Amino acid sequence: MITYFHNGILFFFCTALLGGCLADKKYYYPKQKENQELEINRRSNEFLMRKLAELPPASMPTLQERMDRTKQRGLFAPIAINVINEATSAIKTIIANEQSKYTSVSQFTKTDLYFYDQPSLAGVFDPAGMQFTGFDLIRTIDNGTDKPDTAFIAGFELDTTKTMEILNNSVFQLKLKNFRLKYVKPKVSVGSSKKMSVEFDISFLTSYVNRDGSIFDSVLLGKFHLLLKDISIDLNDPGFGTCAANSGQQTVYGRSFIVPRSSGYFKTDTGVVAGYNQGVYSIVATVKESTHPSYGSAIINENGILILNTASGELSRKIHN
């Protein structure tokens, strides 16, 4: 009886393990013909300028005015503290997959970009002419036709609901504009759940010279992180390669300073004047795609010690539960 039980468990385990290791050939596409590009959005910067114009004027009393106001009330004015909650443990999710062929890592880079469409005489963080509105991460493949086929696209845009942050604190945030996946880059196992995760790490960098002549090279301005989970890659699913709207997982965590303008000299109608340039910056985006394939590997990871003791029946109960 025990021998039959052992054989049954061994057969089931081997079947699950093989199902988790064999790649599903229906997902193959010619990866040697793919092309990856980070494309900057070219929407007019006047949209952001209109948003800035709509902001209410800020009240900026002098120190003396604040002290006089406090004396009239007889009490110290309450201090409003803006608490920024950064759940760092929840922000960063590590995709653990012992079989690297079921995980792919791609890097998109764009350099020598200009954050503003004009120089400035007002200051390092003057937002006048800010032309950055977002960017797209695009992967295309040559499918033998005249027009490349889009295999993957993820669009990020400036979060204009927080325009005051740009003006008052010189920082901006991003939000996910769209996401669509047509061809799966990592391999998909035969026995997988036909779900995948896509994780984004995005960094903004700049190099500039300040008014004192000090050089700052490859300065990190900010970082963003986004994890999209449970994306359907079932070939029979109408929602293949999309993430459900308002699912709560499209939040892009992080923030970045707007690009500081580098100090320089500019020729104007009145002559050469000292000022600040258009803000040169770079974007580096790393994309991790994982198909979480291995049901057999999950059995090994979660029940490794039980496999050595199948007579206890614990493995059988856990599998069926």
pLDDT at 67: 65
Distance in angstroms (rounded) separating the CA atoms of residues 243 and 250: 8
Look at residue 303 and tell me if it is in a domain.
no
User: The pTM is what?
Assistant: 0.71
Question: What is the block-wise mean pLDDT of the chain (321 residues), using blocks of 10 residues?
Answer: 46 47 67 80 74 70 66 49 36 40 88 91 90 92 81 93 90 94 88 87 95 93 93 90 69 94 86 90 93 48 40 36 36
pLDDT at 79: 38
| Concatenated DSSP letters of 131-146 | ---EEEEEEEE--SSS
Distances (CA, A) of 158 to 137, 192, 224, 317: 15, 36, 12, 50
φ/ψ region of 313 (left if φ > 0, alpha if ψ in -120 to 50, else beta) reads left
pLDDT at 189: 83
Look at residue 298 and tell me if it is in a domain.
no
Look at residue 9 and tell me if it is in a domain.
no
Long-range contacts of 50-59 (CB under 8 A, 24+ apart): 51/160, 51/163, 52/127, 52/163, 52/166, 52/167, 54/163, 55/163, 55/164, 55/167, 58/168
Burial (Cβ within 10 Å: 0-12, 13-18, ≥19) of residue 166: buried
Distance in angstroms (rounded) separating the CA atoms of residues 41 and 67: 47
Look at residue 99 and tell me if it is in a domain.
yes
Look at residue 209 and tell me if it is in a domain.
yes
Look at residue 71 and tell me if it is in a domain.
no
Q: Which of 45, 296, 320 lies closest to 190 in space, CA to CA?
A: 296
Look at residue 58 and tell me if it is in a domain.
no
Distance in angstroms (rounded) separating the CA atoms of residues 135 and 125: 21
pLDDT at 187: 87
Distance in angstroms (rounded) separating the CA atoms of residues 137 and 34: 13
97 close to 103: Cβ distance less than 8 angstroms: yes
pLDDT at 309: 40
Look at residue 210 and tell me if it is in a domain.
yes
Please count the structural domains in the chain: 1
213 close to 153: Cβ distance less than 8 angstroms: no
Domain of residue 113 covers 26-53+92-293
